[in-house]
Amino acid sequence: MRGPHNIIRLIRTGATLERTGAMNVVMDAFEAPTLVRVVLRGLVWPFQWLGYKGDAEAPPLPRALTALGPAYIKFGQVLSTRPDVVGGDLAGELRVLQDKLPPFDLATAKAEVESELGQPVDQIFSEFSEPVAAASIAQVHRARLRETGEEVAVKILRPGIEKAFRKDIDAFYFAANTIELLSPGSRRLRPRDVIEHFDRGVTSELDLRLESANASEYAANSADDPGYQVPAIQWEHSARRVMTLGWAEGAPIGDNDALDAAGHDRHALGSRILELFLNHALRDGYFHADMHQGNMKVAANGDIIVYDFGIMGYIDEYTRRVYAEILYGFIQRDYKRVAEVHFEAGYVPADQDVDEFARALRAVGEPIFGMDATRISMGRLLSYLFEVTERFGMGTRTELILLQRTMVVVEGVARSLDPRVNIWDVAKPVVSDYIKESIGPRAMLSDLAKTARVLSRFGPRLPAMVEAALIAQSEDKPEAKRAVWPWVVTGVGLGAVCGVVATLAVGFVMWS
C-alpha cells in the first residue's frame, strides 16, 4: 500500500466534501456537535482546491460521492435507504446513486460484450438498447435473444472499474491502519477487519461469473417462496464482465406513485420484504445483501422481483441460532436472556456484568415497543446502541457485519414504502418459527445425528491411528503400550455408540 498516495486520497475526500458543499450536509444529517464541525472544516478548508468539482447540477452529497468513485457511491446507496437517519429529502437525493448514474456509451458496451462472449452483438441479440440503468459498478441494457426471442437484461461492468475500486480500498486500508495505530481504543471495532470484509464483497461483485452463481443458488433456495421471483441466468451468454439474465418487468420499489397507480398495497410489500429477508437469513443462511430500492421491482401480479446478486451474505448455523435468540429475546422483551446469549456467544467480555448489560439493552429495546413506528428514530437508536457496545467492550463481529448492514437497509426500504411498518411485528412469527425448528427437541436430535455421523467417519481410520500411536510410544517407553489400551477400547466403543446413535437419530428425524 502506498502511504503518500493514500494520504492524498483521504485529504482529497475531505476536500471534495467541502468543495461541493457536502460537508455541511453530512454534519447536519448526523447532528454533529459544533466543536466537531469547527475542527473538521478547519482541517479540510485549506485543501478544498484539491477536491473534485463533480457535477455542479447535482445536489451536494450525490455530487461529492459520485465524483469520489464507486466505493463512496456504495456508502451513499446505504444512506439512501434510511430517511429516518438522514432525513427524507437527503435520502431522496441519494437514491439516484442506486441506478441513475451517468452511463458509458453504447459502442463501448457492445465492444465489451463482443470481447467477453467472443461473438458480435448482432449474432447474439436481435435487439440491444441504450443503457436503461447505471450504477457504481455496472450498467444494464435491455436486449432480445436472436435464437429464442426471449427478452433479457445484459449487465456489463464499467471499463476500468477494477482499478478504481482497488484505489479506494487501498486508501480505506491505510485509514484503518492509521486509526488503529493512533487510537488503540478503536481496535475493539476492528476497522481493518471491517475493510477486509468490504474488500471481499467488492471482489465478488467484480466477477460476474460469481454473481451468476450467486443468483443460481439464491433462486434454488427461494424457489418455493410465494410471491417472489429471481430472473433466470443465461449461462451461455454470461462471462466475467458480462451477465445475461431474464428481464424483470415491473414497477420500481422506490417509486411509490407508480406502485399506488398499479394498485399495490405498499404496507404489505414492505412487510413482505422484511419477512423474506429474515426467512432467507435464518432458514437458508444465504441472503441478498444489497436489497435497496434500485435492485427490486414489483410485477403486475404483485410478485417481488429481485436482481443484482453481486453482494450475498452467508452465516453459519450456529451464528443463525445466536442471531435468532437475540432477536427473539428482544421481541419477547426478555433482556436478561438477550444479555446471556451475548455472553454465551463471546460477544461481550466475560468480566462484564450480565445484569448491568441487560439493563443497558432494555434502554435500547423499550423505546421500540408500544411506540408507533413513525416516531422511532433509528439514528438515535443506533447511536445509543453504539454507546452500549463501547461501554461493555464489545468488539465488531465481522461475521455479522453484512447481516446487520442488510437488516438496516431492508428496514429502510420497508419504511420508505410505509413508515408504519415495524420490523419487530414482522419478525415475531418468522423468528418464533425458526426458534421452534432449530432449538427444540427435534433440532437437538438432528444435531446429535450430525455429530455422530462426523465421529463415525473416523471408524475405518481407528486401527491405523491406534497402531501408529502404539508404535510411536512403545519405541521410547515400552510401558506406554499398556497405557494406550484403555484409549483404544474407549475409541472403538465411542465409534460403535456413534454409529448406533446416528442411525437412530437419522431414522427419527426422517420419520418425524
Q: What secondary structure does DSSP assign to 46-86, as a single string?
A: GGGGGS----TTS-HHHHHHHHH-HHHHHHHHHHHT-HHHH
Considering 393, 414, 439, which residue would you say is the last residue of a domain?
439
pLDDT at 479: 53
Domain ends where: 205, 232, 247? 247
Q: What is the pLDDT of residue 500?
A: 43
What positions carry a catalytic annotation?
A: 290
Domain range for 266: 249-439
Average pLDDT over residues 449-468: 67
Is there a single domain that holds both residue 54 and residue 143?
no
pLDDT digits (tens, 9 = 90+) for 58-69: 888 888 888 887
* Residue where the block lists cell 466403543: 493
Q: How far is CA 150 from CA 114, 144, 175, 239, 244, in A?
A: 19, 6, 48, 19, 11
Q: Is the pLDDT of residue 332 over 70?
A: yes
Side-by-side strand order, sheet with 242-246: 125-134, 138-145, 151-157, 242-246
pTM score, whole prediction: 0.71
177, HSE (Cβ side, Cα atoms, 13 Å): 12
Q: Which whole-number Å values give the CA distances from 456 to 36, 51, 87, 443, in the listed order?
A: 61, 63, 58, 20
Residue 418 and residue 276 in one domain: yes
Q: Which of 134-138, 175-179, 222-226, 502-506 has the lowest mean pLDDT?
A: 502-506
Tell me the per-residue pLDDT of 15-35, one tens digit each, with 9 for 90 and over. Answer: 888 888 888 777 776 666 777
Percentage of residues in the chain with pLDDT exceeding 90?
A: 27
Average of per-residue pLDDT values in the chain: 79
Rounded Cα gap, residues 55 and 62, in angstroms: 9
Does residue 43 surpass a pLDDT of 80?
no
How many other C-beta atoms lie within 10 A of the C-beta of residue 471?
10
pLDDT score at 80: 74
Q: Of 191, 212, 247, which residue is a domain's last?
A: 247
User: How much is the pLDDT for 508?
Assistant: 40
In this predicted structure, which of 8-22, 285-299, 378-392 has the lowest mean pLDDT?
378-392
Choice among 364-373, 410-419, 445-454 with the minimum mean pLDDT: 445-454
228-251 mean pLDDT: 94
Tell me: do 279 and 204 sit in the same domain.
no
Higher pLDDT, 402 or 448: 402
Residue 470's pLDDT band (boundaries 50, 70, 90)? low
User: Is 266 found in the same domain as 414?
Assistant: yes
Query: Residue 504: pLDDT band by 50, 70, 90 thresholds?
Result: very low
Instruction: Identify the pLDDT of residue 494.
Output: 45
Q: Are 237 and 286 in contact (CB under 8 A)?
A: no
**N-term to C-term CA, the chain:** 57
Query: In this structure, are 357 and 459 located in the same domain?
Result: no
Pair (336, 398) in one structural domain: yes
Give residue 265's pLDDT. 94
User: Residue 105's pLDDT is what?
Assistant: 93
Residues 295 and 401 in one domain: yes
- Written as one string, the DSSP assignment of 216-265 is HHHHHHTTT-TTEE-PPB-GGG--SSEEEEE---SEETT-HHHHHHTT--
- 119 and 189 fall within a common domain: yes
Check: CB of residue 293 under 8 Å from CB of residue 413.
Answer: yes
**395 and 340 in one domain?**
yes
Q: Among candidates 427, 444, 449, which has minimal Cα distance to 501?
A: 449
Rounded-to-integer distance, Cα 198 and Cα 173, Å: 10
Amino acid identity for residue 305 in this structure: I
**What are the grid coordinates assigned to 410, written together?**
431492508
Please give the residue that has the higher pLDDT: either 9 or 268. 268
> Which of 21-30, 376-385, 405-414 comes out lowest in average pLDDT?
376-385
Note whether 328 and 350 are same-domain residues. Answer: yes
| Separation CA 116–CA 113 (nearest Å) | 5
* Confidence check: pLDDT of 14 > 90: no
Distances (CA, A) of 242 to 12, 134, 164, 246, 282: 32, 14, 18, 14, 31
- 375 vs 25, which has greater pLDDT? 25
Domain count, the chain: 4
Same-domain status, 283 and 226: no
Location of C-alpha cell 457492445: 110
Domain check: are 169 and 81 in the same one?
A: no
Give the model's pLDDT for residue 486.
Answer: 53
Q: What is the pLDDT of residues 89-100, one digit of tens each?
A: 787 788 777 777
